Structure 1
Amino acid sequence: MSQLRREDRAVLRVLSGEAVFPPPAWVMRQAGRYLPEYREVRARAGSFLDLCYTPDYAVEVTLQPIRRFGFEASILFSDILVIPDALDQRVRFVEGEGPRLDPLEGRAEFDRLRQADDPAIFTHLAPVFEAVRRLRAELPFETTLLGFCGAPWTVASYMIGGRGTPDLAPSRDLARREPELVKALIDRLVDVQIEYLVRQFEAGVDAVQIFESHAGTLPETQGDALKQWSFEPIARMVAGVRARVPGARIIVFARGSGLEGHARVVPETGADAVGVDWSVDLAELRARIPDTTVTQGNVHPDVLIEGGEALDAAVDAVREAVKGRPHIFNLGHGITPQTPIAHVERMLARLRR
């Protein structure tokens, strides 16, 4: 029997404020198309949602990067859009184009969504929790298991626009024309995703990450848009989860929020850690926040594609910026399909040397 305790897992030690060196590592989208074994399972699964909702497949692809690279954390394979799918908004994934949803263009489409307390939502999501239970049983004991969901504004933007767009014009326009409707949608997502994350914890995750992928593209309304549309709903989620899972460890990744926004994440949302995107200078951010603040990130995914001395320099820069401070090594966005496996191996060898 392992002599390790759950709290000895390296990522959990960092999330508790300990400066572990070299920092433990995982990467966003680490189970993905850059791995030939993932592509083989993806082909067998048929649709992307079948891959997410079939525990055999979801468990297998989640374990693949742990077997190959020994990352200190494993993140559940799923998608932020299982939530609108569970709310009974039609979701599908088009090969080569990405997600497509039937757009929520006004009150009529909103009224057709399931209410937050509808048990059908979590019956629909039961395969996700089954995958979590199996993963915790199959992962090495020392590996931290991460769950996740999308932040309310990011999920709402997909639900309103029906797809991702560079400027999120449909969702920003609806927020300008009918702000109360968009706020009602965000409120429903807050309630549903509190329950979603709590159930992930109950099934066996050690910590969760909330992905605010669109923090840099918010409605142009009066006041502090970042607080109103992003940080305040996330703060309600964090508090709601902790009310039922005391001490729950939560990372918030607010992509595109800039240096100032990144510095605000932990104090304004109550998160344990801030995920840092590639556009922010990590050393500058660390100089602006307390030494005890936990950071995660922020190597540019393109540098991982380039490899060589540029990759070595990027890894060294992170090591130098965070030495003596709590940090989880990661990219500043998801790993891309064209990333050479050898470059991931080189990155981890450099980090751990």
Structure 2
Amino acid sequence: MKGKATDERRLLKVLDGERLWPPPVWMMRQAGRYLPEYRATRAKAGSFLDLCYAPALATEVTLQPIRRFGFDAAILFSDILVVPHALGQKVWFVEGEGPRLEPVDLPRLALESDRVLSKLEPVIETVSRVRAELPKETTLLGFCGAPWTLITYMVAGRGTPDQMPARRAAFTDPKGIDRLIDILVDASIDYLTAQLRAGADAVQIFDTWAGVLDDFGFQRLVIEPTKRIVAGVRANVSGARVIGFPKGAGGHLPVYVRETGVDAVGIDWQASLDFVRDAVQPLAAVQGNLDPLHLVTGGKALDAAVDRVLDRLGEGRLIFNLGHGITPDGSIDNVSHMLARVRAAGRR
């Protein structure tokens, strides 16, 4: 996927080994409920999943934050749970509470695995539509949920505070969890490959619940499946760029980068900036790690937090981002202020 056509896309330059100043910037969940234009489009769609599977509306939502803020990257509007849904597990969303899933049926998932891409064709169409409408200098990111994070929802049927149901299943039914991982790895490789071939410049693997595992679990359930996905995608798409985001990984970050082979790693806001600078940034580009709460509260604390990220990580390869997604109560004015401060860094 690397080539002359991407020369103007600053984020790709960082993924390919350059240090840029000021750093490129985008924001996880940048297309979301904090934007009035998103809420208006969402109201047209019906259910949340209907929005994910409506290429025209999903394209519109993906482009909204680019039009408003001019981020260096757009990220496909979809949801990590479209993969379990495409595998045949019933998924629905309860307003104000989040996703719900029916109990896992492994034989059914295995039977449906060959039909995943056909069911996700509307999402792939969205990728093509967005790429056609994006400014040529804007990177397009695709994504998927990592197998472990998908499993936490697929086993529990909803989000839980400590992911106890999935952790228990990993101990009591390791063969079943391994089979589920195999299905999800294969589906994720096909899904990310299709996104790249449809026009995505890079893809991100979200592992939101990586931080709840012990050392053994992190190796088995986070690193190994991610390593397989990265290798599988690159076997299909030579030079594919991949960003990993193992939220809560902390001290596991260096081994995650070394063993998975990702081009960049997302850093949550709880990670030590000095540790990231000294132990992680020499291995790969880093992405993050402003606390999303600063986009709610704003003020001098926001300025100081932006400056800390730039000061500590700016000497290496950096993609400025949040340590997780912006929340619905995030302020548009604070987002604009954050962007202005990051981009003014080149003049300081």
| One-letter identity of the residue aligned with 1:110 | L
TM-aligned CA distance change 1:290 to 1:217, over 3 Å? closer
How far apart are residue 281 of structure 1 and its match?
1.8
How far apart are residue 141 of structure 1 and its match?
0.4
Match of 2:34 in 1: 34
| One-letter identity of the residue aligned with 1:91 | V
1:38-187 to 2 correspondence within 5 Å? 38-104=38-104, 109-115=105-111, 117-118=113-114, 120-187=115-182
Match of 2:342 in 1: 351
Take 2:235 and 2:7, find their aligned partners in 1: how far apart are those partners? 20
Take 1:7 and 1:245, find their aligned partners in 2: how far apart are those partners? 19
| One-letter identity of the residue aligned with 1:85 | H
Moved more, 321-330 or 181-190: 321-330
Alignment of 1:230 with 2:232, yes or no, is: no
Take 2:280 and 2:232, find their aligned partners in 1: how far apart are those partners? 25
Query: What TM-score comes out, normalization by structure 1 length?
Result: 0.94
Take 1:290 and 1:300, find their aligned partners in 2: how far apart are those partners? 19
Take 1:215 and 1:163, find their aligned partners in 2: how far apart are those partners? 16
Take 2:209 and 2:201, find their aligned partners in 1: how far apart are those partners? 25
Q: Is the 8 A contact 2:69 2:336 kept in 1?
A: yes
How far apart are residue 291 of structure 1 and its match?
3.0
| One-letter identity of the residue aligned with 2:139 | T
How far apart are residue 282 of structure 1 and its match?
2.0
Matched position secondary structure for 2:293: helix
How far apart are residue 284 of structure 1 and its match?
2.5
Matched position secondary structure for 2:158: coil
Take 2:85 and 2:200, find their aligned partners in 1: how far apart are those partners? 22
Moved more, 51-60 or 260-269: 260-269
Query: What TM-score comes out, normalization by structure 2 length?
Result: 0.95
Matched position secondary structure for 1:330: strand
Q: Is the 8 A contact 1:88 1:114 kept in 2?
A: no
What per-residue deviation string (whole Å, max 9, x for no partner) do you get for residues 262-306 of structure 1? 222210111001100010022331112353520000000011211
Matched position secondary structure for 1:182: helix
Q: Is the 8 A contact 1:17 1:292 kept in 2?
A: no
Match of 1:208 in 2: 203
Take 1:114 and 1:92, find their aligned partners in 2: how far apart are those partners? 21
Q: Is the 8 A contact 1:278 1:333 kept in 2?
A: yes
Alignment of 1:282 with 2:277, yes or no, is: no
Gap regions ≥5 residues in structure 2? none
TM-aligned CA distance change 1:261 to 1:292, over 3 Å? closer
Take 1:168 and 1:291, find their aligned partners in 2: how far apart are those partners? 32
Matched position secondary structure for 1:235: helix
| One-letter identity of the residue aligned with 1:262 | L
Q: Is the 8 A contact 1:292 1:326 kept in 2?
A: no
How far apart are residue 197 of structure 1 and its match?
0.3
Matched position secondary structure for 1:131: helix
Count how many residue pairs are aligned between Structure 1 and Structure 2.
Answer: 341
Q: Is the 8 A contact 1:292 1:325 kept in 2?
A: no
Q: Is the 8 A contact 2:72 2:137 kept in 1?
A: yes
How far apart are residue 167 of structure 1 and its match?
1.2
What per-residue deviation string (whole Å, max 9, x for no partner) do you get for residues 25-79 of structure 1? 0010000000000000111101000000000110000000000000000000000
Matched position secondary structure for 2:321: coil
Take 1:55 and 1:115, find their aligned partners in 2: how far apart are those partners? 27
Matched position secondary structure for 2:243: strand
How far apart are residue 99 of structure 1 and its match?
0.3
2:318 corresponds, among 327, 336, 340, to 327
How far apart are residue 224 of structure 1 and its match?
2.1
RMSD: 1.3
Q: Is the 8 A contact 2:89 2:109 kept in 1?
A: yes
Match of 1:257 in 2: 249
Matched position secondary structure for 2:248: coil
Matched position secondary structure for 2:330: coil
Matched position secondary structure for 2:242: strand
Take 2:167 and 2:7, find their aligned partners in 1: how far apart are those partners? 42
Identity of aligned pairs, percent? 56
Take 1:307 and 1:290, find their aligned partners in 2: how far apart are those partners? 28
Matched position secondary structure for 1:167: coil
Take 1:255 and 1:285, find their aligned partners in 2: how far apart are those partners? 13
Take 1:35 and 1:227, find their aligned partners in 2: how far apart are those partners? 38
Take 2:7 and 2:315, find their aligned partners in 1: how far apart are those partners? 20
2:332 corresponds, among 320, 338, 341, to 341
